[in-house]
Each structure stands twice: as structure tokens, then as C-alpha cells.
Amino acid sequence: MWTLPKIWSRQLARPLMTGIQLMTGIRHPASDTSPTYDEGGVKLHQVEGSLLQNPRTEYRSVRKYQGKVKAVILDWAGTVLDCGVYSPAVVFVDVFENEGVPITMEEARGPMGAHKKVHIRKITYIDSVRLRWKEKFGRYPDESDVERMFANFVPMQLACLSSYTKMIPGAVDTVKYLQKVMGLKIGSTTGFTTEMVDILKEAAQEEGYCPDSSVAADEVPQARPFPYMVWLNAIRLDVNPVEAIVKVDDTVDGIREGTSAGCWAVGLAETVGSTDIIVFIKWEVVLLRCRAIMWH
């Protein structure tokens, strides 16, 4: 049985002793308030306080990853293809138009990045849309309206999605560089459902874009801004820790998805309505950022 060095004070060592006492069955006399004995005759009772914790210290140790980047996870529409994210926006406008409550393109784009059902729900939260809805129906939109509009949205989106699959200039070359030169794995997340992503993957493959992993919004309990799609990508790519992943997106929810997952996040700005040259410059920035993170 080992003993504590004499230079230690009993007060300082007491949190450590708490953990030792729990393992050995030995108890401090002052804590014997409701004695119970085990089969070997050792007195047992509940011990107050945390194990191996010194409340007197002003610091705590934090584990921090400082290795290289291992994977990059990319958004689809607005990041690698469909510059301007027109495919869902035009359908959202049509869906609300069919309900008799027109919305603007700005209102349609507002919640971009979320699961498409969540996107529709968030549009119904916009004050101007709610007022128009009440003027039309005498009440505010509810969840039954969201469900109905999403059911109408899906076939409309599937019907036109293939018309909005042009790759953004610079995206394919950048991804190939990340894969072949930097040796990184490529994953993807999106607000689209699996059926919609299948259309995007087929069209993107024809232009040379082939991510190693792809996760759709309906494959996880909750999509963006929650981290589950990033984590599922990490599992499928067999990449850890999550701090070794860079998430790239052009939406606020997509960036939040990355930060909530615990990885790096790089935002693509000004892609909506921008020229090919500006988008190419943005991809050059992403490439430089990934290099800086990898070789920091």
C-alpha cells in the first residue's frame, strides 16, 4: 500500500484520495453517515463530490488537434454547381404561388442550406409572408401547410433539377487537386433529399466531380445546422478526428453545420448572381485556405 509524500497537504490531496477510496472501499471517517457493508465486511456509502477533481486549480487541460487536414466536405448547390442556387429557389417561388401567396426570390432564398421541408417552414415564419398568408386565408400558416407544400415541392424539384447542374468554374479542378495532390478525401452534404442528390451526382460525375462520400438531408435525424451529416461523412470516409475535416459551404446554416460538428469551416461568399471569374477566385481562396490549414 503506497502512501502520499509528506510534502503534500492532506487538504490538497483529498480530491485524489476520493477517487482512490472509491476504488478500494476505504472511506474517510468523517463521511460515514449511513454505513453499509458488502459481503467482505467492507463499509460502503455514497461519497459526495467529483472524482479526481481539484476545485482549487485555476486551469484545466484541453485536448487540441494539431495534425494535418484529412478531408474536405463540400455543399452541393451554390458551392460546386448551380451558381446562384436557382434550382430550389425557383421551385419555392412556384410552390407558394400555387398556394395563392406569392413570395419574392429574396424570401425564397432566405433559409437556404436547410432541409427543404425546414426551408419551407422557415419561409412561413417570415413576417411579410405570414401577413400575406393571413390576408389570403384569414389565419397564419401551420404545420399542415408546410407538409402539403413540401409534398408538392418534391416532384416539382425532381422535374427541373437536371436543368441546374452546371458545375461552377474552378470547382472540379480544385477538388481534383485536393484529392490527387493533397491526398484529401472529399465528402458532401446538402439540404436536398437522397432522390435529389442522386440526380446531382449523376450529372456531376459527367463533368468530373466524384466525391468519395455523399450524405443527404433525409439520411440523418436533423439536417443543418445540426452536425449529423458531417459526422456521417466522417464515418463513411473513415476520417478522425473531426478537427481534421474542413467544411466548405455558401450558406450560413452550412457553416454552422461545420462549426457545430467541431471541424474547420470555410465560407464561399458572393456566389449568388456572381460572375464566373469571381466564383473562380473564391475557389482559389478555398484552395489556399486548405493549404494553410494543412501545412500550418
**Separation of CA 287 from chain center:** 21
Q: How far is CA 233 from the centre of its chain?
A: 10
Rounded percentage of the chain residues whose pLDDT exceeds 90: 58
Q: CB of 227 within 8 A of CB of 187?
A: no
Write the pLDDT tens digit of every residue in 84-109. Answer: 788 999 999 999 999 999 999 999 99
Mean pLDDT of the chain: 82
**Enzyme catalytic residues:** 75, 116
Residue of 130, 115, 127, 124 whose CA lies nearest to 146: 124
- Residue that has been written with the C-alpha cell 429574396 in this structure: 106
Name the DSSP letter for residue 111: T
Confidence (pTM): 0.72
| Per-residue model confidence as pLDDT tens digits over 49-81 | 555 566 677 777 778 888 889 999 999 998 999
If we measure between CA atoms, which residue out of 261, 262, 282 comes closest to residue 270?
282
Residue 57 exposed, middle or buried by CB count within 10 Å (0-12, 13-18, 19+): exposed
Residue 47 has pLDDT above 80, yes or no: no
E-strand ranges in the chain read: 36-37, 43-44, 71-74, 185-188, 245-249, 264-267
pLDDT above 90 for 135: yes
Distance CA 3, CA 267 (A): 56
Q: Give the relative orientation of helices 171-180 and 276-294 as an angle to the nearest 10 degrees.
A: 20
